[in-house]
Amino acid sequence: MSCIVEIALACPLRQTFDYLSDEPVEHWQPGMRAVIPFGSRQLIGIVIAIKPVSEISTDKLKKIEQQIDKQSFLPVEIMQLVQWVSRYYHHPIGECFQAALPKKLRLGDSDEMQTETYWALQQIPVNKPGKKQQQILDLLEDYPEGLSEKALRVQFGNVKSSLTTLAQQNVITAREHVALPVPCLELQQTVSLNNEQKQSIEKVLAEKGQFSSFLLHGITGSGKTEVYIEICREFVENQQQVLVLIPEIGLTTQFVERFRHSLAANIVVINSSVSDADRKQAWLLARSGKADIIIGTRSAVFTPMLNPGLMIIDEEHDSSYKQQDGLRYHARNVALMRAKTLNIPIVLGSATPSLETLYQVKLKRYQLLKLTKRAGGATLPNVKLIAANKTADNNGLSSVLINSIKKHLQQNHQVLLFINRRGFAPVLMCHECNWQANCRSCDAKMVVHQHQNRLFCHHCGLIQTLPKKCPECGHSELKSYGVGTEKIEQALTAIFNDIPVLRIDRDSTQRVNAFTNMVKQINQGQAAILVGTQMLAKGHDFHDVTLVGVVDADQALFSADFRATEGLAQLITQVTGRAGRGKKSGEVLIQSEQPEHPFWKNLLQDGYEAIAENLLKERIQMELPPHGFWAVWRAEAQEADLAMQLLQQVAELLQQTASPVMILGPVPALMEKRAGRYRAQLLMRSADRASLHQLIDQHIEAVSKLKLARKGRWSIDIDPTEL
Ligand code: ADP
Ligand code: ZN
Ligand code: ZN
């Protein structure tokens, strides 16, 4: 008996598709994958349902070409989660499944876990084994399941010949075993936790087995990671899995290594530095319950777990949790939804919590856990503002800052200089005719990159050769203004010529391992200057950095984006948190051309919490997010005005329905032209969530059918983080 299978496909259409299957009904289950014909192509889809009849007559239905999975593939919980995501973010279901699956599985790979040869003890040796052989045998005694050659190699170097000899004597035996991550064979001693850490852990553990959300607000270096690890220990001992989300930063190794060295557990990692094959294996290990701890970036929030016990979101304020194209989901929101459904606790951790999360604490929806002191005797650095002066300063470095750098280097300490712009300088201009190097595709200036002798647009990626003379008037002297990491690097190298200057930004870390190698060098602890962007601000634990300098921090103070001050406060707090994390105390110097600005006084005297509290009050008063419920329609098109016209039509459609939802706009985007497209947006604000979603549901189909909608691109963004 054949049946009808409803399938979700990765295509922008907001619908599912029915196909005929020769297999009997009982061979199908929702969540399985199947190969189906679609137009002239072959696609892989996910089974949503098995139906007795279709609304489409059977002779018009195409046949499924191949059933990929013979057993269930995606657990019911993930099926429901993805369907919820599709409804909540108003995004086509097939594309939501795309986001949820590792690439290899998306492309139809088998869902069998990879196996490996494991070596285990078999019988007591007759002859006395050699030294290395004895070491191997001693270790294997602790691992009745055996260890892989890879794991033994990490410990003892080349072990091939030892293994062969031992196997020939039947002292050890080989068997195929699911390939697990290499265990850490030398666990570190646990630190003794302080009272605040202990209390935080107890409060979370008290909510085991039920939904409860926590904000772990701990200042930088207060030992949040240690708290996560101890909470994980308890869950792992109970055979419950923990999903840990971390931001997308170059270096997650440090974080993962601390987990590996503290817990005897199977820890898998799912992020962009992991190969597709390893990602697939990690996902399968999580699904099978064999992975105890899953650490991953944004999309790891969709990882299935057999025995889920807890979720943790580290640096919950980080903007990389929000996907800004395609399925515009926020991993924090998805995680919260998932924890609720699974009925398990969730911990959001940060030194600089987002206003969204602080708002939830205020509304008493999250329990607040606080770590107010630096752990292990380290103290918070002393923070000072220094007045910058464009004309007097040496390439953007004031003499106060330079002298201070000198002092710290003389003590053989490290200095970290933070500057939020890569490249050499953000402006190139001609003094004769006032020509400026602008991007031809964006409302933006081209940035000078001297190392590569090029101009780059940081918005669309346009690359040009650095002109030697003015393209307008031919004058041969072009001047660059402002500072970027390259210029600071160059200036410092000139001043401190015997001290290594390490530039850490997206340009210098493109090669595989470049970042890891620099971090290794930094951790050796010689005097050095680190110059870097955001990448350096986030989460690193460099023990020898005693001075942090912030160069050119002012831009955000005058930004048109209402979230800019929140971001600046977070950034400065995070960067200053990089100083004095070890035994040596630290100092922070912030260079500003506006040292009198009330923002600085507020931040330096009262701290992040006070500034966040003020900003939140302001937002509530002005009815801006996180107050209320928001959505934004975005449109872009090559023709000027088309995006605005399209959104005008969307606004008219929405206004046909009587609704309490406010429609604001359309207006051109802050940077109207980007990558050759003109962009506009239309805001929706509602006092309640349901009305907002209802109104979108009522009209989104009609929007997608608008003539202009096919000429330009459009999208809807729920809970936007950029307005
Ligand atoms: P955070 O994640 O809050 O920035 P970490 O967990 O990285 O803080 O801790 C900062 C440093 O303090 C780390 O080197 C960590 O090993 C150490 N540490 C954390 N808790 C303790 C403790 N209770 N006693 C001693 N050292 C600690
Ligand atoms: Zn000119
Ligand atoms: Zn551009």
Of 100, 345, 136, the closest CA to residue 242 belongs to 345
Ligand 1 contacts CB of residue 254 (under 6 A): no
Q: With bands split at pLDDT 50, 70 and 90, how would you rate the model's confidence at 699?
A: very high
Which of these three, 601, 621, 641, is where a domain ends?
Answer: 621
| Ligand 1 atom 23: residue of nearest CA | 193
Q: Given the CA of residue 314, which atom of ligand 1 is nearest to it?
A: 2
Sign of CA dihedral 398, 404, 410, 412: negative
Same domain, 476 and 491: no
Q: Name the 3-class secondary structure at 604.
A: helix
Distance from the alpha carbon of residue 341 to the mean position of ligand 3, in angstroms:
43
Domain membership flag for residue 189: no
pLDDT for 527 equals 87
Pair 133, 222 in one domain:
no
> Is the domain of 410 the same as that of 545?
yes
For a pocket test of ligand 1, which of 220, 226, 313, 543 has the largest count of ligand atoms closer than 8 A to its C-beta?
226
Contact status, residue 368 vs residue 361, Cβ threshold 8 Å: yes
Q: How many residues does the chain have?
A: 723
Residue 612 lies in a domain: yes
pLDDT for position 251: 59
Give the domain extent around 101: 3-107
User: Which ligand is located closest to the Cα atom of residue 674?
Assistant: 3
Ligand 1 close to Cβ of residue 350 (< 6 A):
no
Residue 535 shares a structural domain with residue 617:
yes
Residue at 26 is within a domain: yes
pLDDT value at position 250? 57
Q: Which residues pair with 465 in a beta bridge?
A: 454
Q: Does residue 426 line the site of ligand 1, with CB under 6 A?
A: no
CA angle 699, 701, 706 (to 5 degrees): 95
pLDDT of 308 reads 98
The pLDDT assigned to 509 comes to: 78
Based on the fold, state whether residues 653 and 670 are members of the same structural domain: yes
Q: Is the CB of 316 under 6 A from ligand 1?
A: no
- pTM confidence score: 0.93
In this structure, the dihedral spanned by the alpha carbons of residues 692, 694, 700 and 706, taken in order and rounded to 10 degrees, is -90
Same domain membership, residue 560 and residue 413: yes
Confidence label for 666 from pLDDT (cuts 50, 70 and 90): very high
Does residue 91 carry a pLDDT above 90? yes
- Provide the token pair at 694: 């209802």
Helix, strand, coil abundance in the chain, percent, nearest 5: 35, 25, 40
Q: Which of 561, 596, 621 is the last residue of a domain?
A: 621
Cα(639) to centroid(ligand 3), Å: 16
599-648: pLDDT as tens digits: 998 898 888 999 999 999 999 999 999 999 999 999 999 998 999 999 99
Residue 568 shares a structural domain with residue 688: no
Q: What ipTM score was computed for the predicted complex, to two decimals?
A: 0.96
Name which residue sits closest to atom 9 of ligand 1, judged by CA: 223
Peptide bond preceding 626 in cis form (omega within 30 of 0): yes
- Examine the domain organization and report whether 93 and 200 are in the same domain: no
Could you give the CA distance from residue 486 to residue 467 in angstroms, rounded to a whole number?
18
What CATH number corresponds to the domain at position 36?
3.40.1440.60
Q: Is residue 376 part of a domain?
A: no
Q: What is the pLDDT of residues 471-484, one digit of tens each?
A: 999 998 899 988 99
* Across 335-349, 573-587, 658-672, least confident range: 573-587
Do 477 and 490 lie in one domain? The reply is: no
Closest ligand 1 atom, CA of 220? 4
CB 201 within 8 A of CB 354: no
Please indicate, yes or no, if residue 185 is contained in any of the structural domains.
no
Residues 551 and 686 in one domain: no
- 212 or 534, greater pLDDT: 212
Tokens of 278: 């390893």
Same-domain pairing of 468 and 487: no
pLDDT of the residue at 420? 86
Q: Are strands 115-121 and 147-148 parallel, antiparallel or unpaired?
A: antiparallel
Q: In what order do the strands lie in the sheet with 662-674?
A: 662-674, 677-686, 629-637, 713-718
| Residues making up the binding site | 430, 433, 439, 442, 457, 460, 470, 473
Asked whether residue 607 is domain-assigned, the answer is yes
* Angle value at C-alpha 136, between 265 and 239, nearest 5 degrees: 15
DSSP H/E element including 4: strand 3-8
Q: What is the 3-state secondary structure (H, E, C) of 204-220?
A: HHCCCCCCEEEEEEECC
What does the pLDDT average to over 518-541? 81
Which 8-state DSSP code applies to residue 244? Answer: E
The domain tally of the chain equals 6
Q: What are phi and psi of 457, to 5 degrees?
A: -95, 120
pLDDT tens-place string over residues 23-64: 999 999 999 999 999 989 999 999 999 988 888 888 889 999
Inform me whether the pLDDT recorded for 407 exceeds 80.
Answer: yes
Distance (angstroms) between ligand 2 centre and the Cα of 476 equals: 8
Any atom of ligand 1 within 6 Å of the Cβ of 225 = yes
Same domain (yes/no): 129, 172: yes
Alpha-carbon Rg for the chain, nearest whole angstrom, is: 28
Q: DSSP per residue over 24-87, as a string?
A: -GGG--TT-EEEEEETTEEEEEEEEEEES--SS-GGGPPBP-EE--SS--S-HHHHHHHHHHHH
Q: What is the token pair recorded at 89?
A: 């973010």
Q: Six-digit token pair at 97? A: 């499944």
Atom number in ligand 1 closest to CA 225: 6
What is the rounded distance in angstroms from the CA atom of residue 709 to the CA atom of residue 653?
Answer: 13
Tens digits of per-residue pLDDT, 436-493?
999 999 999 999 999 899 999 999 999 999 999 999 999 988 999 889 999 999 999 9
In a domain, 183, yes or no: no
Q: Where are the beta strands (DSSP E) in 505-656?
A: 528-532, 545-550, 587-592, 629-637
258 lines ligand 1 (CB under 6 A): no
Q: What is the pLDDT of residues 315-338, one digit of tens each?
A: 999 999 999 999 999 999 999 999
Selected residue with higher pLDDT from 553 and 280 = 280
- Residue 684 belongs to a domain: yes
Banded pLDDT at 539 (limits 50, 70, 90): low
* Per-residue model confidence (pLDDT) at position 591: 92
Among all ligands shown, which has an atom nearest to the Cα of 470? Answer: 2
Tell me the three-class secondary structure of 268-287, residue by residue. EEECCCCCHHHHHHHHHHHH
**Model confidence band, residue 663 (pLDDT cutoffs 50, 70, 90):** very high
